[in-house]
Amino acid sequence: MLLVHLSFTNATIVQFSFSLKAPRQLRLATTSSHGSFPSLSSRRRATPSDAYSGTSESADRRWDNLGFNPVQTDYMYVTKSSENGSFSNGGLRNYGNIEMIPSAAVLNYGQGIIEGLKAYKKQNGSIILFRPEENGLRMRLGAERTCMPAPTIEEFVDAVKSTVLANKRWVPPPDKGFLHIRPLLLGNGPVLSLTPAPEFTFLIYVTPVGNYFEGDLKPINVVVENVMHRATPGGVGSIKATGNYAGIMKAQVKAKANGFSDVLYLDSVHNRYLEELSTANIFVVKDITISTPVLGGTVLPGITRKSIIEIARSQGYQVEERLVSVEELFDADEVFCSGNAVCVLPVGSITFMGKRVDYGESRFVVCQQLYSALRDIQLGLTEDKMGWTTVLN
């Protein structure tokens, strides 16, 4: 059998100097002949370092070192699909490796969906989830497009809550980061011909993270890619299919080697209209109008994108979802991007065909305003009039 690792070497495990008791009673997930979840009693558990136990000051130092890299936490949620496609018998297991046979559909044909959402810690110690129902809905839409059954929205949200609470000691303190929640839907059943898997796994793991890019609201420098494309009409650019991301790694690696933070992709038909960055949606500001590429099958319907649009309209901005040409970048007052990982981030400059435009003179006022409004809701610092947050006590 082929062993697929979801864990990391001891050298990459970040250890923290604090301790909370993990739940004593866990409902264990089921296994099947197509993949098992072996006992992890012999594995090294992610526990606080003895060298740093004792002081809150040393604990703060450990949180300060968080980057956007995986940290081995305590538990993950796992469930298998039943014969009727339901996912009702899931539960928590110790975080560790999973096994898949080499003929698993996700390994051979990429039949898989990922999601991403976050949990924050409030000053009073309670934990906030941001719009988990939207992620559950998006997973269902992606699963339908790729011929997979999916958990109901209620099952999805319940699984997220269980996983976060079981790993609550890994939620960073306020303003130190957040708990990144990564649900996976995988076709783990065996196939040889091009056909949907006979069995599927729904799995959630979590990891504490800091900023996706270095700095908090530090502007990023972006290059427009006009040869490679992220998505095509009729494809799967509007869902979080696992294969969507491998195809853009080459452009991203090239961009970073040339000193850019990320890549902005154009449409594949006209090679003129903006679509999105590698993992974020794009917004272009001119006066009181904020324009963003329309959803049409090639742009991911970001949940942060949706939230920013609603906040901006509530603050009096005119928001247009339409075709946005690359030429408009050179006349814009301000450009920013949004996504689960980056939240809302200003774009300091964009380079297209060797021509660079800088937006520093704008002082990124609109981006700062929308970022503050969104973060205040996510962190529970203001009344959630939108009804977007779920508080876990």
Give the largest CA-CA distance in the chain. Answer: 60
pLDDT tops 60 at residue 18: no
Q: Considering the chain, what percentage of its residues have pLDDT values greater than 70?
A: 83
pLDDT higher than 60, residue 15: no
Residue 128 has a pLDDT of 97
- Residues 314-343 pLDDT 10s: 999 999 999 999 999 999 999 999 999 899
Between strands 220-225 and 262-266, the pairing is parallel
Residue identified by tokens 């069995």 is 199
Catalytic residue ranges: 240
Residue range 174-194: mean pLDDT, rounded: 95
Contact 123, 194 (CB under 8 A): no
pLDDT for 2: 45
pLDDT at 11: 35
Q: Is the pLDDT of residue 43 over 80?
A: no
What is the C-alpha separation between 335 and 352, in angstroms, rounded? 14
**pTM of this structure:** 0.85
pLDDT at 215: 57
Which pLDDT belongs to residue 250?
97
